[in-house]
Amino acid sequence: MNTMKQFYFAAAALALALAVPALTDASHLNMAILVLMAAQAGIAWNMVGGYAGQVSLGHAAFYGLGAYASTLLLVKFGVNPWIGMLAGGFIAALLSLGFGWSCFRLKGHYFAMATIAVAELVQIFFTEWEYGGAAVGLYVPMDKQGWLWMNFSTKLPYYWLALGLLVITLAANWWIERSYLGYYFRAIKDEPDAARSIGVNIARYKQVALSVSAFFTAAGGSLYAQKELYIDPNSVLSTALSIKMALVSILGGVGTLFGPVVGAVVLTSIEEFTRIAFGGTGRGTDVIIYASLIIVIAVFYPTGLMGWLRSFRERREARAHADRQMAAPSAAVQTLGKEAS
Amino acid sequence: MTTDILLQTLASGVLIGLIYALVAIGLTMIFGVMDIVNFAHGEFLMLGMYSAFWLFSLYALDPMITLPLTVLMLFAFGVLLYKLVIVRIINAPMLSQIFTTFGIMILLRGVAQFLWKPDFRSIENSAVSGTVKLLGIQLGKPQLVAGVGAIVVTGLIYFFLNKTRLGAALEATASDKEAARLMGIDSHKMFSLAWGVGAACAGAAGVLLSTFFPIFPDVGANFILLAFVVVNLGGFGSVSGAFWAGILVGVIEVMGGLLLGPQYKTAIVLVLFLGVLMFRPQGLMGKA
């Protein structure tokens, strides 16, 4: 997508997002919040997993660090959640150095499996850490409410918060995509040896991608804690969550700006609707539909919905081009005919 | 800590490690032959467990008797899965491969929950139950039989790979796909064979576990991460490596649990895993 198209797409999406609260009831508004939060986490994952091509399956570690950092700071020290969110982001970015140090010397499958192991270790740590609530989890106190304390008893403000965070994350991603960082990330993914040979410090830029990604993932985690008012290792640190972040991007299209947004809309809707329609039976019908969808997408649409749209458009353009080619000689023949007559 | 407890822990570590080895051998075979990490491997084990459970509770057939039947069923299932799904992602990007087998994992769990409910089930009073005293240490008979069974199945796999033409063809494909193809070995046949044998190994492990481990749809989650660790330690694609690494992981897990508390046993194995990944990515026993 070129810049103008990106701009129009973003403007249309933003207009729609601004209109959503007026168009929906409370239960659908909650779903809209889930979509925005999934999209934000997907974009954050996409920075390192999509653009730089380092498939992390352990991003829940950063999400959980963000959620635990802001919540622990608030519960134990009364620190404002806005500051907690920033602190969580920086803590996650800092700890991503260790994450990167241990995983980046590995490639492909090995990297993916190592990230699972690191995230599992983080989850085990928080499950056993008494001060951090252990397996019981932590409640976010509701005594101080309002925008200053990022704490509300209605859903609507969380919608605006989620939208705001999504827009900021998108803007950061847009800036990265256009800056030299974006070129380096893509070079790491597609041509690591060529990039190294012209002097790009691969290790450093992998780490930059991971740290930026960790920062925004953690911010999403903090928002999750403030919205749900309760966190435990299972809800913010599970491997299933890591997978979901990656899946949102893959479904939409890895390494594209709006791919995770498209993916989040589709995936979260399907997840929520099947859960509402079939989840109550406790028989796993929703899981079966969700899993079948994952397999179909992974097998038949490896470039995601954005890739599918692009190939659709390319085919159409190729056809139009072919038509012009067909038309051109006949026009030439016509001119020749005119000249002859 | 007395020597008795130490010996007992060591023995139970070795016995559970033999099961880990069997699960990991299937995983390492699939990876070795076609470079795909099968996240659904724990679910093959789960299917093996349910097969043993239903044959026992519906027809009163003991798991040890139905073992060959379950192994055959899982073999067929593995081949079927290859022909239906995996064959389409052989040349797909790694991301698609990961998410395909991951999707299969969730799908099989969902199907198991749909068909058999999320309840915990167990096989009570099978032919092997109770304990036995060996050289002064108390061991559960089911664990002992499972360990011996795992050794027998592993031995058969080893024999198949090293002494039969088909097994040799499989090994050849694992070590060099292109060369094997040029020698006239049909790679698709080898791939489906690897999935069949891989699933059969996990299924056999499931049957052996079923006499002393709870049976439920998500049971595979307990084994998949350990199986990854074992495969890494043993060196990707190495059957004998996976065998020894399985025993090692079993012992480390149980010993770690004894020394630091059972809640940290997985953490110890994961730290070991990361350590090996970082400093010896070719595995403890793999060649550099």
pLDDT digits (tens, 9 = 90+) for B203-226: 999 999 998 899 999 899 889 889
Any residues with CB less than 8 A from the CB of B248 and at least 6 apart, and which? B17, B233, B284
Contact A106 B277 (CB under 8 A): yes
Measured distance CA(A322)–CA(B138) in Å, rounded: 80
Residue B154 inside a domain? The answer is: yes
Residue B252 inside a domain? The answer is: no
Closest CB from B228, B263, B274 relative to A128 = B263
The pLDDT > 70 percentage for chain A reads: 93
Q: Would you kindly state where each structural domain of chain A is located, as residue ranges?
A: 3-302
Buried b (16+ CB within 10 A) or exposed e, B253-277: bbbbbbeeeeebbbbbbbebbbebb
Residue A130, φ and ψ in degrees, nearest 5: -60, -45
Q: What angle do CA B17, B251, A109 make, to 5 degrees?
A: 65
Distance from CA of A237 to the nearest CA of B (A): 15
Of A69-83, B21-35, B165-179, give the lowest mean pLDDT range. Answer: B165-179
Q: What is the pLDDT of residues A15-46, one digit of tens each?
A: 888 888 888 887 788 889 999 999 999 999 99
Q: What are the chain A neighbours of B27 within 8 Å (beta carbons)?
A: none
Q: What is the DSSP letter of A229?
A: S
Contact A298 B273 (CB under 8 A): no
Contact A121 B271 (CB under 8 A): yes
Global ipTM? 0.84
Orientation angle between helical segments B41-59 and B3-34, nearest 10 degrees: 110
Measured distance CA(A271)–CA(B174) in Å, rounded: 39
Q: Take residue B69 and report the two structure tokens written for it.
A: 């039947």
Q: What is the pLDDT of residues A201-256, one digit of tens each?
A: 888 889 999 999 999 999 999 999 999 999 999 999 998 899 889 988 888 888 88
Q: Does B281 touch chain A (CB under 8 A)?
A: yes
Buried b (16+ CB within 10 A) or exposed e, B199-223: bbbbbbbbbbbbbbbebbbebbebb
Sole residue written with tokens 């008795």:
B4
Chains A, B: CB contacts within 8 A come to 129
Distance from CA of B130 to the nearest CA of A (A): 33
Cβ atoms within 10 Å of A157's Cβ, excluding its own = 17
Q: What residues make up the domain containing B164? A: 3-220
The helices-and-strands tally (H runs, E runs) of chain B is: 11, 2
Q: Take residue A187 and report the two structure tokens written for it.
A: 């070079």
Specify the pairing of strand B137-140 against strand B131-134.
Answer: antiparallel
Measured distance CA(A208)–CA(A179) in Å, rounded: 13
Q: What is the pLDDT of residues A267-293, one digit of tens each?
A: 888 888 888 877 666 677 878 888 888
Residue B162 inside a domain? The answer is: yes
pTM: 0.86
Closest CB from A254, A282, A295 relative to B107 = A295
Measured distance CA(A42)–CA(A47) in Å, rounded: 9
Residue B249 inside a domain? The answer is: no
pLDDT given at position A334: 52
Residue B232 inside a domain? The answer is: no
Distance from CA of A57 to the nearest CA of B (A): 10
Q: B286 near B236, Cβ under 8 Å?
A: yes
pLDDT given at position A253: 84
Residue B68 inside a domain? The answer is: yes
Residue B176 inside a domain? The answer is: yes
Of A151-155, B2-6, B139-143, give the lowest mean pLDDT range. Answer: B2-6
Residue A157 bridge partners (DSSP): none
Which residue in chain B is spatially nearest to A283 when comparing CA positions? B114
* E strand intervals along A59-200: 138-139
Any residues with CB less than 8 A from the CB of B102 and at least 6 apart, and which? A243, A294, A298, B39, B40
pLDDT given at position A287: 82
Orientation angle between helical segments B221-234 and B265-279, nearest 10 degrees: 30
pLDDT given at position B288: 44
One-letter amino acid of A83? I
The pLDDT > 90 percentage for chain B reads: 43
pLDDT of residue B175 exceeding 80? no
pLDDT given at position B222: 84
DSSP three-state, residue B137:
strand
Closest CB from A102, A124, A246 relative to B267 = A124
Residue B269 inside a domain? The answer is: no
- The confidence band for A332, taking pLDDT boundaries of 50, 70 and 90, is very low
pLDDT given at position A341: 47
Measured distance CA(B30)–CA(B40) in Å, rounded: 12
Q: What are the chain A neighbours of B35 within 8 Å (beta carbons)?
A: 109
Measured distance CA(A337)–CA(A334) in Å, rounded: 5
- The candidate with the shortest Cα–Cα distance to A288, out of B111, B28, B222, is B111
pLDDT given at position A316: 79
Distance from CA of A283 to the nearest CA of B (A): 5
Q: What is the pLDDT of residues B45-59, one digit of tens each?
A: 999 999 999 999 999
Distance from CA of B131 to the nearest CA of A (A): 33
Q: How many domains does chain B have?
A: 1
Q: What is the pLDDT of residues B236-281, one digit of tens each?
A: 778 888 999 999 999 999 998 888 888 888 889 898 888 887 777 6
Cβ atoms within 10 Å of A154's Cβ, excluding its own = 9
| Range B28-40 average pLDDT | 88
- The candidate with the shortest Cα–Cα distance to A120, out of A46, A33, A58, is A58
3 state SS for A23-77: HCCHHHHHHHHHHHHHHHHHHHHHHHHHHCCCCCCCCHHHHHHHHHHHHHHHHHH
Q: What are the chain A neighbours of B263 within 8 Å (beta carbons)?
A: 124, 127-128
pLDDT of residue A8 exceeding 80? yes
